């Protein structure tokens, strides 16, 4: 049996709330380093242990392998909760970072997309598809001007082998960023991340997404048809044709013909040494995209807040493949369980470390500070139901 030991962390303020977890600030007692700690109530995971097991499996494969991907530093459990310890990203979301800038040029957007695509390539090379790439999952490591942008939230990701790229058929993700093949249920894999990057690029250039419609049904139909335009003209007149061509390249409706991450990085918009831009007619300098982008982002913020809660619950029910009656019960209980998780004091709780020899524990954690176990947490979750 795994050993029970004192906890090596203290948790602080709540940083945010996700689909089925809360995120709290945590400090490692011996090193003094700060982290983000994802706290998951076991009651929410009963019968759905594969969701956590999958996230751990993905992060174990890629953690510490890329400077633009959040690292899983540790994971353990108490009697009531599961704890996943990640990099603490304090620089905010992509939305807020852009709006706070004094100016914003096409070269800035290209630089961000280039960096993110390199991280996506690393993820794909490791045999993983993210499946939920969107601006909200792109966080800056610190508030510094040159802070690294990080891909976060691997809750929908899957480990895939090359020969099984078209085996995933469940509908998942965030609707506006989902590829046609997800809605069509024809099988999907890594190409869905390239499609999402096309949507993100469009957003970074205009401040809104290409498939915005009055209803989710209309949005889905537009995505399946690849029905989008570079309109209104005022939002796109300062964007180069090369950038628009890159968006079209990524938004290829046929996943077989869609570029890979490697091919996208070779597109001239990202690969050329000299930046592409539309020049100001007065002085020939690059046009500032910020006024239009900021106006569009601000107009969308209220809608995002209203839609998030509904989509989060739908996402969890879909992942768990629950019948309608059970999904309704989940929706009524999720806030209560998350509140219970938030109240737990891990300083006084008994901690069980489920770490195998290949667990991605970073170098500042001494071997003597954790209790090793022959059974990995992922294996344990695969075999047993998590109960109190």
Binding residues: 38
The answer to whether 56 touches 377, Cβ cutoff 8 Å, is yes
Residue given tokens 């040494």 in the structure block: 273
Q: What is the rounded distance in angstroms from the CA atom of residue 67 to the CA atom of residue 119? A: 8
Closest to 188 measured CA to CA, from 93, 264, 256, 267: 256
* The one catalytic residue among 74, 87, 132, 193: 132
Q: What is the rounded distance in angstroms from the CA atom of residue 295 to the CA atom of residue 207? A: 8
What tokens were used for 178? 């989902």
Whether 132 is catalytic is yes
What tokens were used for 156? 């929908």
Binding site per annotation, positions for ATP: 38
Cα dihedral 259, 262, 265, 268 sign: negative
β-sheet bridge partners, residue 353:
76
Q: What is the rounded distance in angstroms from the CA atom of residue 282 to the CA atom of residue 349? A: 66
The answer to whether 16 touches 360, Cβ cutoff 8 Å, is no
Instruction: Name the residues annotated as catalytic.
Output: 132
């Amino acid at each position: 049996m795994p050993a029970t030991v004192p906890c090596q962390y203290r948790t602080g303020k709540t940083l945010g709330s996700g689909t089925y977890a809360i995120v709290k600030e945590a400090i490692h007692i011996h090193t003094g380093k700060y982290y983000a700690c994802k706290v998951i109530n076991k009651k929410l995971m009963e019968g759905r242990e594969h969701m956590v097991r999958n996230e751990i499996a993905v992060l174990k494969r890629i953690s510490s392998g890329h400077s633009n991907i959040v690292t899983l530093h540790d994971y353990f459990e108490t009697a009531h909760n599961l704890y996943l310890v990640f990099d603490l990203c304090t620089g905010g979301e992509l939305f807020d970072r852009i709006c706070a800038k004094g100016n914003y040029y096409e070269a800035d957007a290209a630089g961000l997309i280039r960096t993110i695509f390199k991280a996506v390539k690393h993820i794909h090379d490791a045999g993983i598809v993210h499946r939920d790439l969107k601006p909200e999952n792109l966080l800056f490591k610190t508030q510094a001007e040159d802070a690294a942008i990080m891909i976060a939230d691997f809750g929908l990701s899957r480990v895939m082998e090359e020969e099984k790229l078209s085996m995933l058929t469940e509908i998942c993700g965030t609707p506006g960023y989902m590829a046609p093949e997800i809605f069509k249920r024809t099988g999907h894999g890594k190409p869905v991340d390239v499609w999402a990057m096309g949507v993100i690029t469009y957003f970074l250039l205009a401040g809104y997404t290409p498939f915005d419609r009055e209803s989710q049904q209309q949005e889905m139909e537009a995505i399946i048809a690849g029905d989008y335009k570079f309109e209104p003209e005022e939002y796109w007149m300062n964007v180069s044709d090369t950038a628009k061509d890159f968006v079209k390249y990524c938004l290829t409706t046929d996943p077989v013909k869609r570029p890979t991450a490697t091919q996208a990085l070779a597109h001239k918009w990202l690969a050329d040494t000299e930046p592409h831009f539309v020049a100001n007619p007065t002085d020939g300098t690059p046009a500032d995209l910020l006024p239009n982008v900021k106006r569009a982002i601000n107009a969308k913020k209220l809608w995002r807040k209203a839609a998030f809660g509904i989509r989060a619950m739908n996402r969890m029910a879909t992942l768990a493949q629950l019948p309608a009656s059970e999904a309704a019960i989940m929706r009524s209980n999720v806030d209560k369980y998350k509140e219970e998780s938030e109240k737990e004091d891990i300083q006084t709780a008994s901690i069980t470390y489920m770490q195998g020899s290949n667990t991605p524990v970073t170098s500042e954690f001494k071997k003597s500070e954790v209790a090793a176990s022959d059974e990995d947490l992922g294996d344990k979750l695969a075999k047993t139901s998590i109960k109190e």
